[in-house]
Structure 1
Amino acid sequence: MKRLLIALFALLLAPVLASQLSAQDMLPPAPYAYKQLSDPEQEAKAQALMETLRCLKCQSQSIADSDAPMAGDMRHQVRTRIAAGEDPEAIRQWLIERYGDYVSYTPQVKPITWPLFAAPAVILLLAALLLRNRFRKGGKQ
């Protein structure tokens, strides 16, 4: 009986939770989500930065190309900060601090990521050593 009551309660509560989870999508878009800045130079800076930032909801789309509500909010943040005179690199760093390294298409070398940058060089070096030894042995026979 207790399990039946819990299951019934969960079924009744599910639509309420689903509506709360999709509440972000029901909000109107941020003012600068789809509206460009009036200054063409500032808009060019904003557009260049937005093309280097990844949408967190979409599969490998920049926030400039994505129609996701979250990408619209990020575009709004970029344009608002550019209009306030903030440096694009400072905006990028702020977004990386807020959302993590995944938000940027330009990877940063950090102690945790240096093996990713060093691995191709190490593999090429090992391949060159193996080939050198292979050709040396082949020439002596």
Structure 2
Amino acid sequence: MLKHVLTPLILMLALSGPVGAVLPDEILPDAALEARARALSQILRCPVCQGENIDDSNADVARDLRRLVRERLLAGDRDDQVLTYITDRYGEYVLFEPEAKGVNLILWLAGPGALILALGGAGLVWRRRRQAELRAAAPVMPPELTEEERARLAEILRN
């Protein structure tokens, strides 16, 4: 009984993975070139979908970019030349990992910088709370009395 329930469930999960949008007419006959095209398509962002690479996107511009990648590979370009060609035309925005230079350096450093600031702030809050707890747990000692105050206290206690 359990086997009849789990088998379709496992099959559904296996088939529900991401499906590439590459159409059969786009696939190159040379397996090595196609593998390079797929690798490049994974690191290029779709300008329309923004969160998807061009290999997974069904947008027309993503299809055009996939064809452009394959055309450049067929022309004999190296992978870096293909990326340079595309970024020259579409900007560094199409790269999922733009180079860490210039203005992009701010983006590369913003995440780690924010993490360091957050950890430092959390450490400061923790330290202050710990100090407050220690102060609250310490016994409160009465202040020392002067001779005049002791005499007055003794007089009050006698009455």
TM-score (norm 1): 0.64
Distance 1:79 1:94 in 2: 12
Give the secondary-structure state (helix, strand or coil) at the position aligned to 1:107: coil
Identical positions, percent = 34
CA contact (8 A) 1:33 1:72 kept: no
Q: What do you get for the CA RMSD once the two structures are aligned?
A: 2.5
| Structure 2 residue 97 is matched with structure 1 residue 106 | yes
Structure 1 runs not aligned, ≥5 long: 1-31
CA shift for structure 1 position 113: 1.9
Q: How many residues align?
A: 110
Higher RCO (CA-CA < 8 Å; seq separation 6+): 1
Instruction: Specify whether residues 77 and 128 from structure 1 end up closer, same or farther in structure 2 by C-alpha distance, changes over 3 A only.
Output: closer
Write the distance in 2 (CA, Å) between the matches of 1:135 and 1:68: 49
In the aligned structure 1, how far is the partner of 2:94 from the partner of 2:66? 13
Alignment match, 2:39: 48
Larger Rg: 2
Q: 4+ residue stretches of structure 1 with deviation over 3 A?
A: 127-137
Q: What's the offset of the Cα at 1:123? A: 2.7
Q: 1:94 and 1:124, CA in 2 relative to 1: closer, same or farther beyond 3 A?
A: same
Correspondent of 2:114 among 105, 123, 131: 123
TM-score (norm 2): 0.58
CA distance in structure 1 between the aligned counterparts of 2:52 and 2:122, rounded to whole angstroms? 40
Q: Give the equivalent residue in structure 2 for 1:39.
A: 30
